Amino acid sequence: MRLKLFIFLLLFVQIKSFELSAQCNNSVVPPTTINNIYITHNYSGSVTFYTTAFISNCATGNVTTPPNSVWLGRNGSFSYTLNFNTNVNNLVIAISATGNSVNENFVFTTNRGNPNITSSFNCLTMIVGNEIISGSQTNPGASGSSGGGGGGIFTISNNIPFNKLTITGNGGQNGSLLALCSSSIILVNKSSFFSQTIYRCPNSPFAIGNKSHTVPGRYIDTLVNYLNADSIVTTTLIHHPSYQQTISSTICEGDTFKMGSKKYTESGVYVNNYVSRLGCDSIVTLNLNVNVKTEKNIEFTICDGDTLLLNNKVYSKEGLFQDTLVNFRACDSLLNITINQIEKSYYTYNYFICPEDTIIHNNQIFTEIGETIEILKSYRNCDSIVSIKVQLLPKLNECKDATFFIPTAFSPNNDGHNDVFKIEGEHIKEIEMMIFNRWGEILFQKTDQSAQWDGYYQQDICQDGLYFYQVKIKANNLKIYYKNGTIHLIK
């Protein structure tokens, strides 16, 4: 800035200090209040205040800044901020005493972004975006000032009203003066209208301003927008559907029912709260029934060499076994299997015959010497191996019929004569003897080759009298004789 500190220039400035250009009839320096808008400022770097008014004489008009204008960049770079208590726009500022040989710049930013700069007139300056440049880099054809340096009247506009304007620069050539035109400081008051549809979960309120809405419907609320004007907001509140579901399921004992991250193994009613895909509560009730495992014991008896087919499994040995089946409820059924095994029975029958004799065994007639093997069924329906051996008697006299004598009386008096009742004879293999009293009571019974009764019953000698006998006599040639009669006991 070329400040002419001559007496006559100061007098001229003082005379003209109250005559501003037509484009900015009155200018102010914060802090001040214009049209109920309170204005303050803050700054850093080379910022001070010029105590008297100053006029920049441009060919197209004068730019005058009042006393106490802001003196920017006198000794270097600076940052200067205007603060408004409400939103403003289209601010008009006056800049005077800019340099004409050393570059100066003024970069404007707002709290709503970079503004647009226009000028009604200026000299020794040019506008590049949100920056004003003066000095040697200005348009060479720009009008020069007749005194006091260049400057101009500039309008700062932004798409969105703002409440903070910051000016920064590098300073130079003794700085420049800046003042705010009071006529441009007016309240920006423009009502806005906004409609919105809000989705919420039931019982989840929607807050707007200092109000809260919980019931679905249409609401109209009046707020204050960034322009300090009414903002009419129409809200349509819609509730997301709430989900309630009941699941009934049956599992088997030992199995697990999974629901989300939870696992269940016992019968019961379980209520779970989840978050649906819309972010709302989803209540799922689980009715779980657990079928217990069934267990059964069964027993089988098989013959040696046989097999048992049970549930597609073959068993051939005796023992305890377990098998797992699926019952009518589609659950495990434990089967305890006991298998008893009956061994094969072996029987051998030895027959001794005389020449031209026959043997009848199990309704079969055997006439030849030799061994015959028969496989029969026992009472348990298992195999019974029967060996029938027919052999000739080793001695031919054993082929003779038995001869015998049965006495009619005996005297058990220990005199050495007829003391016992016995049968005497030849070719006898075995005698089966039974003695009865007259009431049919068995007093004596014995099977032996030399069976004989001594007349005693239960260690007491029997009384004199008649007794009855039955005898079965088997000869060596296997011929059988049956005899019965009476015997007289005489003491």
- Residue 463 CA: distances (Å) to CA of 437, 470, 484: 10, 20, 21
Both tokens assigned to 379 = 């009472």
Query: Residue 10 above 70 pLDDT?
Result: no
Specify whether the CB–CB gap between 150 and 57 falls below 8 A: no
The whole-number pLDDT of residue 386 equals: 81
CA 83: distance to chain centroid?
A: 59
Distance between first and last Cα of the chain: 182
Q: What is the mean pLDDT of the chain?
A: 82
Contacts of residue 322, Cβ cutoff 8 Å, sequence gap at least 6: 334, 335, 336, 337
Report which listed range, 66-80, 95-109, 138-152, is most confident: 66-80
The whole-number pLDDT of residue 145 equals: 37
User: In angstroms, rounded to a whole number, what is the distance separating the alpha carbons of residues 483 and 470?
Assistant: 6
Query: Residue 391 above 80 pLDDT?
Result: no
The whole-number pLDDT of residue 313 equals: 86
Which one is predicted more confidently, 43 or 314? Answer: 43
Q: Torsion angle of alpha carbons 153, 159, 161, 162, nearest 10°? A: -80
Which one is predicted more confidently, 304 or 38? Answer: 38
Reported as a pLDDT band with limits 50, 70 and 90, residue 396 is low
Which one is predicted more confidently, 126 or 367? Answer: 126
Specify whether the CB–CB gap between 351 and 372 falls below 8 A: no
User: In angstroms, rounded to a whole number, what is the distance separating the alpha carbons of residues 72 and 354?
Assistant: 160
Rounded to an integer, the average pLDDT of 422-433 is 92
Query: Residue 7 above 60 pLDDT?
Result: no
Note the pTM of the prediction, 2 decimals: 0.39
477 φ/ψ sector (left φ>0, alpha ψ -120 to 50, else beta): alpha
User: In angstroms, rounded to a whole number, what is the distance separating the alpha carbons of residues 53 and 204?
Assistant: 63
Residue 332: Cβ within 10 Å count: 19
Give the pLDDT confidence of 24-36 residue by residue, as tens digits.
667 777 888 888 8
- Least confident span in 141-145, 163-167, 300-304: 141-145
Specify whether the CB–CB gap between 69 and 29 falls below 8 A: yes
Reported as a pLDDT band with limits 50, 70 and 90, residue 100 is low
User: In angstroms, rounded to a whole number, what is the distance separating the alpha carbons of residues 283 and 351?
Assistant: 92
Which one is predicted more confidently, 293 or 340? Answer: 340
**400-489: CATH class:** mainly beta
Query: Residue 417 above 80 pLDDT?
Result: yes
Give the pLDDT confidence of 56-77 residue by residue, as tens digits.
877 777 888 888 889 999 899 9
**96: amino acid identity, one letter:** S
Q: Taking Cα atoms as reference points, which of 480, 440, 439, 471 lies closest to residue 453?
A: 471
Specify whether the CB–CB gap between 112 and 162 falls below 8 A: yes
Query: Residue 366 above 80 pLDDT?
Result: no
What residues form DSSP beta bridges with 385? 346, 375
The whole-number pLDDT of residue 151 equals: 85
Query: Residue 485 above 90 pLDDT?
Result: yes
Give the pLDDT confidence of 345-363 residue by residue, as tens digits.
777 888 777 776 777 777 7
Strand 192-200 relative to strand 125-128: parallel, antiparallel, unpaired? Answer: unpaired
Give the pLDDT confidence of 471-484 residue by residue, as tens digits.
999 988 778 999 99
The whole-number pLDDT of residue 168 equals: 97
Q: Taking Cα atoms as reference points, which of 35, 66, 39, 38 lies closest to residue 52?
A: 66
Rounded to an integer, the average pLDDT of 305-318 is 84
Q: Taking Cα atoms as reference points, which of 313, 320, 318 lies closest to residue 297?
A: 320
Reported as a pLDDT band with limits 50, 70 and 90, residue 93 is very high
Give the pLDDT confidence of 162-182 residue by residue, as tens digits.
999 999 999 877 888 898 988
The whole-number pLDDT of residue 149 equals: 66
Give the pLDDT confidence of 204-255 residue by residue, as tens digits.
888 888 888 989 999 988 887 665 567 788 999 998 887 788 999 988 888 8
Which one is predicted more confidently, 430 or 97? Answer: 430
Rounded to an integer, the average pLDDT of 93-108 is 81
Main-chain phi, psi angles of 294, to 5 degrees: -100, 150
- Least confident span in 129-138, 205-214, 284-293, 328-337: 129-138
The whole-number pLDDT of residue 228 equals: 57
What residues form DSSP beta bridges with 298? 337
